[in-house]
A = this chain, B = another copy of it.
């Protein structure tokens, strides 16, 4: 059993225990997609642990697990923490999962040391963040706030053709039919690994997150003229790859010049007909751009949009842009940021005030609840891979900062 202390050993022990719930035992990494057997087993095992702490545990209808210890003075005010337990295929042991382990160890430590809180303390294990089994992200947290619709998922399947609804029903869950209960949430704090190299490469203990980057995703389709690579002189060509390369090269240079926190990625390219001896007539490529400042992001993307059309026009090529994701940046609560800074200063942690480039469940919470995030370093910035690793000592700092913040919010306030 795990003792109530917060140490490298208790964290490693809990992380290893949770990593045991995987669809592919014996294989490197953790594979625990939404509504699978291992996902459900992990949730029920966590339920037992939370109940042993004296917490009241319930599932909502889509599978979010909610464990609450009632406050003795203001039970109607709820201070919540948690993260997600679903993983990508062959993911690591820390992404999301460390947030659940941290919430568990922090609250266990508080209950042991200080007994019942004044306000209620709650752990939320969110049903889905990654969208790695089905093409839909933040299903758990969106349902938690009544933001997901039945229509969003009723026509989607996993890679093996299993419909979302079938998977959900077979796991024993269903669409949210009653209004989600989040009205009394007073604060939310999520501890998460950075999944980037900043803290690790700068030898910093912790990150305190001020905002989650806005993110836009486009598919750009360029249609030129397919032609013979030997007989079509350069001046006769409408080469889609030529046009694309100029767009990508120019705008990545511009993004590098703009500097942090702007990131721009052209990750997917599909060329038609994709043959060595044919001038390519068509190409589709993806665009993914993130920044924490909405005005900056919007301006950068408007210029990118214009540049795509202008460059295409100069090549006699038609450009079509399908803008299929446009999430604005999410600022987090100044109250929580200041609380985390105060506590981190008290403990003498080397922390960085930073943004999250990755999308997080917390961006769903922030418009409704005072929300904050704590980042711990990721070795070499690696995530979504079996090699994902956080130094146990860094994890201890993170869990202790979470505990101290929860203490301040639920015991002192």
Q: Which positions in A face B, CB cutoff 8 Å?
A: 194-198, 201, 213, 215, 217, 227-236, 239, 241-242, 244-246, 248-250, 252, 255-256, 259-269, 271, 274-280, 283, 286, 288, 290, 356-359, 381, 383-384
Contacts and interface: CB of A to CB of B under 8 A. Distances in A.
A262 to B, nearest CB: 7
A230 B252 contact: no
B239 A252 contact: yes
Given A217-B276, A286-B276, A381-B236, A241 B267 contact: yes
Given A267-B271, A267-B274, 19 more contacts: A194-B231, A195-B230, A196-B232, A198-B233, A213-B230, A229-B263, A230-B357, A231-B356, A231-B381, A234-B255, A234-B259, A241-B248, A242-B252, A245-B246, A246-B249, A265-B278, A266-B280, A269-B283, A276-B288
A263 B232 contact: yes
Q: What 5 pairs across the A-B complex have the smallest Cβ distances?
A: A196-B231, A230-B357, A245-B248, A229-B265, A276-B286
A267 B276 contact: yes
Nearest to A385: B226
Contacts of A356: 230-231
22 contacts: A196-B232, A197-B231, A201-B236, A213-B230, A227-B381, A229-B288, A229-B290, A230-B288, A231-B358, A232-B263, A233-B357, A234-B260, A241-B266, A242-B249, A242-B252, A242-B266, A244-B245, A245-B248, A265-B280, A267-B280, A268-B275, A276-B286
B357 A267 contact: no
A384 B229 CA distance: 12
Nearest to A262: B234
Contacts of A231: 194-198, 356-358, 381, 383
A245 B267 CA distance: 12
A330 B286 CA distance: 42
Contacts of A384: 228
Nearest to A358: B230
Nearest to A261: B233
A264 B358 contact: no
Nearest to A383: B228
A175 B217 CA distance: 56
A242 to B, nearest CB: 5
A136 B232 CA distance: 23
Nearest to A248: B245
Contacts of A358: 228, 230-231
A217 B249 CA distance: 24
Contacts of A359: 230
B267 A229 contact: yes
A358 B288 CA distance: 39
Contact of A271 (B228, B260, B268): B268
B265 A239 contact: yes
Contacts of A283: 269
Given A234-B255, A249-B246, A252-B242, A271 B274 contact: no
